[in-house]
């Protein structure tokens, strides 16, 4: 039971994490490129493509000795991949702003460099989690449905909590550090488990 709960919790948090980062990305890009529809168009495109790549990679990774430990490590990896946003985000965007004249492509490049990798890594979690949940073929639909329910619920929670509360209470870097720390903690909770799967 605890294994199943941890798998679903990781999937839910990954959804929260991605949506929170996506919302914050607009605030991070705004000082250099504004907050217009083409900036958000670029952001949404980058996140969708990154998730698509992540889903594909996650499916492939799940074929080789899937375990809850490795799922936790994927969550930790998504947090580590977000470190450059905090460490180098502002100077990187300043550098792009000074070299790319069209703000449409400047914001697209900035979003790609800062957010593609952490989002892609986070995207590997859902298909990998499905593989851990599915041990019987006839129950695969139910397991996938439960997984995508908690993941989407986490995404909705991340959207509301970040936009309604976190941005009003904390600086962007503080929110990012909090998100990364939470990801690491949740990921570490999964590391004691080896090749654990659950009956769906």
Nearest to 113 by CA among 145, 81, 135: 81
Residue 91's Cα: distance from chain center in Å? 23
- CATH 1.20.1250.20 matches 2-190: yes
Is pLDDT above 70 for 10? yes
| C-alpha pair distances (Å), 114 with each of 8, 25, 57, 60 | 27, 9, 19, 24
The pLDDT value recorded for residue 181 is 98
Q: Which of 44-58, 97-111, 116-130, 131-145 has the lowest mean pLDDT?
A: 131-145
pLDDT higher than 80, residue 196: no
Percent of the chain with pLDDT over 90: 83
Query: Rounded to an integer, what distance in angstroms lies between the CA atom of residue 182 and that of residue 159?
Result: 16
The H or E element that residue 64 is part of is none
What are the residues whose beta carbons fall under 8 Å from the beta carbon of 18, sequence distance 6 or more? 47, 51, 119, 122, 123, 155, 158
* Domain definitions of the chain by residue range: 2-190
For the segment 21-39, the average pLDDT, to the nearest whole number, is 95
Three-state DSSP class for residue 140: helix
Q: Which of 190, 149, 181 has the alpha carbon at shortest distance from 5?
A: 190
pLDDT at 195: 54
Q: How many other CB atoms are found less than 10 A from the CB of residue 45?
A: 13
């Amino acid at each position: 039971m605890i294994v199943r709960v941890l798998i679903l919790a990781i999937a839910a948090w990954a959804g929260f994490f991605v949506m929170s980062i996506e919302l914050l990305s607009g605030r991070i890009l705004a000082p250099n490129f504004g907050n217009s529809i083409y900036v958000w168009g670029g952001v949404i495109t980058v996140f969708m493509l990154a998730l698509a790549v992540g889903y594909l990679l996650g499916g492939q990774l799940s074929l080789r000795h899937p375990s809850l430990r490795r799922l936790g490590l994927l969550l930790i990896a998504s947090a580590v991949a977000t470190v450059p946003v905090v460490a180098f985000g502002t100077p990187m965007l300043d550098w792009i702003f000074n070299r790319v004249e069209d703000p449409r492509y400047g914001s697209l490049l900035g979003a790609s460099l800062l957010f593609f990798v952490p989002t892609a890594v986070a995207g590997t979690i859902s298909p990998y989690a499905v593989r851990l949940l599915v041990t019987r073929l006839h129950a695969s639909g139910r397991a996938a449905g439960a997984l995508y329910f908690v993941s989407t619920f986490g995404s909705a929670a991340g959207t509301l909590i970040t936009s309604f509360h976190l941005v009003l209470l904390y600086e962007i870097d503080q929110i990012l550090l909090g998100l990364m720390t939470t990801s690491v903690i949740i990921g570490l909770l999964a590391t004691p488990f080896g090749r654990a799967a659950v009956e769906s």
